[in-house]
Amino acid sequence: MTILVTGGAGFIGSNFVYYMLSKHPDDKILCVDKLTYAGNLETLDDAMKNDNFRFFKTDICDREGIYSIFKDEKPDIVVNFAAESHVDRSIDNPEIFLQTNILGTQVLMDACRKYGITRFHQVSTDEVYGDLPLDRPDLFFTEETPIHTSSPYSSSKAGADLLVLAYHRTYGLPVTISRCSNNYGPYHFPEKLIPLMIANALNDKPLPVYGKGENVRDWLYVEDHCKAIDLIIRNGKVGEVYNVGGHNEMKNIDIVKLICRKLGKPESLITYVTDRKGHDLRYAIDPAKIHNELGWEPETKFADGINKTIDWYLTHRQWWENIISGEYQSYYEKMYGNR
């Protein structure tokens, strides 16, 4: 089987590439990635040594380029991770989010219709459901929860989801969608909460917590997300949405304090900064459907996952130091300079 993975030079996409190459050694994995600021070819160094892997530096919005890959390579399954993924950047400049996340998804699905595939899988997010109140711990996002977005990022992901479902109903495209909660683990770009706090703490820099740090996220180790997607593309029902999450809710401030403790850094590094505009309060996934239908459950406990993650950042310092020494500096200054 040939599986085309878009966005495979990013955080979750690269973890998925490695998961698939080791779990399904008979499958061929093709990776399409534009290599934006978030894509890193170094991350795929080991994959490049595998004969079952091929990399294409292509924008998913480039119709001709995408059609040519489909024509030559004839993928059976497409898993679409490629996206602009950072909420703060979407607040600063929404346009590229609409282009890549919605129009890029359309180009991929048009290619799927033209050349034929057995499955198009859209990697979506729990953010399409908006947020839950902090004082109602009994409420969770199910697949029936109405779409109700807060940021340009989540709106672009919701737009893509609706288009994916429309391509199924209108053209019969065999699609599935997964909506996952916050991932953490190796190769996470240090603009996101956990890797940013690890990198700053290791460099004894301030740890910028938005608002009071009371917002809650539902954290899942990235490999558990990869396993869920692998199950869905093989056994999931066409036309269906699957929520993915591990019932592991934590306040941001507790995560940051935990990172300080693990790294032996003082909590005095924590700096409360101006809140994110439209900041979602709480995400919490009900994963009953994927558990009951496909037998998925998270295997990595947060206590183990965070230790593995911190160890990875300690042993791969060059990987993230290279990132934060480049154009990231001007991003950081713009986002945090006067906050």
What is the closest distance, in whole angstroms, from the C-beta atom of residue 330 to ligand DAU in the complex? Answer: 16
**Of the two residues 182 and 300, which places its CB atom closer to ligand DAU in the complex?**
182
Assigned token pair, 278: 């439209």
d(CA 101, CA 105): 6
The listed partner (ligand DAU, ligand NAD, none) that binds 209, CB under 5 to 8 Å by sort, is: ligand DAU
**Of the two residues 3 and 60, which places its CB atom closer to ligand NAD in the complex?**
60
**Of the two residues 119 and 282, which places its CB atom closer to ligand DAU in the complex?**
282
Find, among 81, 5, 19, 3, the residue nearest to 223 by Cα. Answer: 19
Q: Exposure pattern of 36-69 as b/e (b: 16+ CB <10 Å)?
A: bebbbeebbeebeebeebbbbebbbbebebbeeb
Q: Is residue 15 a contact residue for ligand DAU (CB under 6 A)?
A: no
Question: Which residues 92-151 are close enough to bind ligand DAU by CB under 6 A?
Answer: 125-127
CB 178 within 8 A of CB 160: no
The listed partner (ligand DAU, ligand NAD, none) that binds 16, CB under 5 to 8 Å by sort, is: none
**Chain contacts with ligand NAD (rule: CB under 6 A):** 6-7, 9-13, 33-36, 38-39, 59-61, 81-85, 100, 104, 123, 125, 157, 180, 182-183, 189
d(CA 256, CA 241): 32
CB 66 within 8 A of CB 32: yes
Please give the span between the terminal C-alpha atoms of the chain, in angstroms, as a whole number: 49
What is the closest distance, in whole angstroms, from the C-beta atom of residue 128 to ligand NAD in the complex? Answer: 10
Q: Which residues bind ligand DAU (CB under 6 A)?
A: 85-87, 125-127, 181-182, 192-193, 196, 208-210, 215, 217, 252, 276, 283
The residues assigned a catalytic role are 126-127, 153
